[in-house]
């Protein structure tokens, strides 16, 4: 006989589609939902539909937005554009409260092995934003992995000839890490990118 | 400014209510939902509502059921009743495919510190099932913690005078564990409950 009754089995199946959620965790989540009040379950269910209904991509920067143009693009100076891979990178940077320019979300990085070329990510949008809009600096904030570096290099080669300053976020050993425990690649980068005091 | 746009913030908030889900994980889940197709999101949302709508408790054993009486109570011999704390314990035992009797779900254990007494859990239902229904054995399968043991003892004292065999699942060192690494309480129990070969 089947172990779970159907509605619970189905919900467990849905929860297991979430990243990093295995069978046991999905089961715990499903039991939690069973024990929710009707009100709570409705709010949960509604929040999921709501995200699909009300979240679109800003048509300027590609970040998540409730309207055609996101709040960041509406309200900030476009002198500095920070280029990131995904919307969640925008959140990570916004949480710092350090950067007050605008973003450009590529929605991916160039990765020939996965069949993702320059035309598959939002590079064209970036180029059209740059041409004649008073942009002074483009900060490449893609991840420090092979694809992120390659994408940063590719875009740099396109933009630099336009006379716009292109920068890359610094890599090195994380703050608070003992040299002894730093990974070798980061430590090597920290030496290459050392600065004069 | 707020870091998340409202629909995403709300969904992250909903996901953080799930057991063991913190802010970062909730964010990953929410992004996963944003990237789902409309179809997938609807199925997910529907599964949550469905569980609330269609899952009730079996009025005989207290386990989850789609109908008034669950499949287990409908189809199996009631000679042996296995008493457990929660519906998920039923699942754990059913997965073994070893036990072919029926269950009784207490929905809690006696825990004076939390203000849960014998009348707050489903003991009455168990007693009324036992009286005059040809029950031969009651297996106490509550957890091997203080509350589980106390509840097992309490119920045993009620049932034994009725002339019904009451058993307790065995405790000891888990199969596959080295003695060296077994916890002391389990190892002590393994000695006390040793059996003649």
ipTM, two decimals: 0.77
> Chain A residue with minimal CA distance to B4?
A91
Interval B177-181 mean pLDDT: 80
Q: Per-residue confidence at B134, pLDDT binned at 50, 70, 90?
A: confident
Instruction: Report chain B's mean pLDDT, rounded to a whole number.
Output: 89
Residue A179 binned pLDDT confidence (cut-offs 50, 70, 90): confident
φ/ψ (deg, to 5) at B104:
-140, 120
* Cβ pair A52:B33 closer than 8 A: yes
Mean pLDDT of chain A: 89
Q: Which pLDDT belongs to residue B64?
A: 92
Q: What is the rounded distance in angstroms from the CA atom of residue B14 to the CA atom of residue B45?
A: 12
pLDDT at A183: 83
d(CA A96, CA A169): 14
Main-chain phi, psi angles of B196, to 5 degrees = -75, 135
- In chain B, the DSSP E strands lie at 56-57, 64-65, 80-84, 102-105, 137-140, 165-168
CA-CA-CA-CA torsion for A60, A64, A69, A73, nearest 10 degrees? Answer: -70
Q: How many Å lie between the alpha carbon of B43 and the closest alpha carbon of chain A?
A: 8
Comparing A40-44, A133-137, A146-150, B138-142, the range with the smallest average pLDDT is A133-137
- Percent of chain A surpassing pLDDT 70: 98
The reported pLDDT for the residue numbered A73 is: 92
Answer whether B52 sits within 8 Å of A44, measured CB to CB: no
Cβ contacts from A onto B, under 8 A: 148
Mean pLDDT calculated for residue range B48-53: 92
Nearest residue to A88 (alpha-carbon basis) of B42, B19, B5, B39: B5
Q: Is the pLDDT of residue B107 over 80?
A: yes
Of chain A, the percentage scoring pLDDT greater than 90 comes to 60
Query: A56-57 and A64-65 as β-strands: parallel, antiparallel, unpaired?
Result: antiparallel
Query: What angle, 0 to 180 degrees and rounded to 10, lies between the N-to-C axes of helices A38-54 and B38-54?
Result: 170
Of A6, A13, A55, the CB nearest to B34: A55
Q: Which of residues 30-59 of A touch B (CB under 8 A)?
A: 30-34, 36, 38, 40-55
- Secondary structure element (H or E) that encloses residue B115, with its range: none
> Pairing state of beta strands B56-57 and A137-140?
unpaired
**In sequence order, what are the residues at sequence separation of 6 or more whose Cβ sits closer than 8 angstroms to the Cβ of residue B23?**
B12, B16
Q: What is the pLDDT of residue B176?
A: 80
Q: Please give the share of chain B, as a percent, with pLDDT higher than 90.
A: 60
Lowest mean pLDDT across A130-144, A178-192, B17-31, B64-78? A178-192
Coil vs helix vs strand at A111: strand
A23 near B CB under 8 A: no
A58: nearest Cα among A73, A45, A43: A73
Q: What confidence tens digit (pLDDT) does each residue in A142-161 have?
A: 988 889 999 999 999 999 88
Q: How confident is the model at residue A101, as a pLDDT?
A: 92
Higher pLDDT residue, A178 or B123?
A: B123
pLDDT for position A123: 93
Residue B195 pLDDT > 80: no
Chain B positions touching A31 (Cβ under 8 A) are: 87-88
Give chain A's radius of gyration (CA, Å).
22
A46 three-state secondary structure: helix
Cβ atoms of A138 and A167 closer than 8 Å? yes
Q: Which of A33, A47, A88 sits opposite B31 (nearest CB)?
A: A88
What pLDDT, on a 0 to 100 scale, did the predictor assign at position A133? 73
What contacts 24+ positions apart, CB below 8 Å, involve B111-119? Answer: B111/B147, B111/B150, B118/B154
Window from A70-84, A134-148, A183-197 with minimum mean pLDDT = A183-197
Q: What is the pLDDT of residue B140?
A: 92
SS3 B103: strand
Residue B153's pLDDT is what?
A: 93
CA-CA-CA-CA torsion sign (B126, B128, B130, B133) = negative
Query: Which has more pLDDT, A196 or B29?
Result: B29
Residue in B3, B32, B51 closest to A19 by CB: B32
Q: How confident is the model at residue A180 (pLDDT cuts 50, 70, 90)?
A: confident
pLDDT confidence of residue B63:
93
Give the pLDDT confidence of A69-125 residue by residue, as tens digits. Answer: 999 999 999 999 999 999 989 988 888 888 889 999 999 999 989 999 999 999 999
Checking if the pLDDT of A1 tops 70, the result is no
Contact: A10, B50; criterion CB under 8 Å: yes
CA distance A167 to A140: 6
pLDDT at B1 over 70: no
Q: Is B14 on the interface with A (CB under 8 A)?
A: yes
């Amino acid at each position: 006989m089947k172990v779970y009754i159907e509605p619970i089995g189905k919900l467990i199946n849905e929860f297991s589609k979430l990243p990093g959620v295995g069978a046991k965790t999905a089961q715990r989540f499903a039991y939690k939902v069973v024990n929710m009040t009707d009100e709570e379950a409705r709010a949960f269910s509604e929040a999921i539909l709501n995200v699909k209904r009300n979240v679109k991509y800003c048509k300027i920067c590609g970040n998540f937005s409730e309207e055609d143009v996101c709040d960041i693009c509406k309200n900030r100076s476009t002198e500095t554009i920070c280029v990131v891979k995904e919307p969640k990178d925008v959140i990570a940077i916004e949480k710092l409260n350090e950067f007050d320019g605008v973003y450009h979300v590529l929605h991916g990085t160039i990765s020939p092995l996965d069949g993702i070329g320059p035309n598959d990510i939002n590079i064209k949008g970036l180029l059209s934003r740059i041409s004649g809009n008073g942009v002074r600096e483009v900060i490449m904030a893609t991840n420090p992995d092979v694809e992120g570096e390659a994408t940063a290099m590719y875009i740099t080669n396109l933009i630099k000839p336009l006379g716009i300053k292109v920068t890359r976020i610094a890599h090195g050993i994380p703050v608070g890490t003992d040299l002894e425990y730093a990974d070798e690649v980061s430590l090597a980068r920290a030496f290459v990118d050392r600065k004069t005091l």
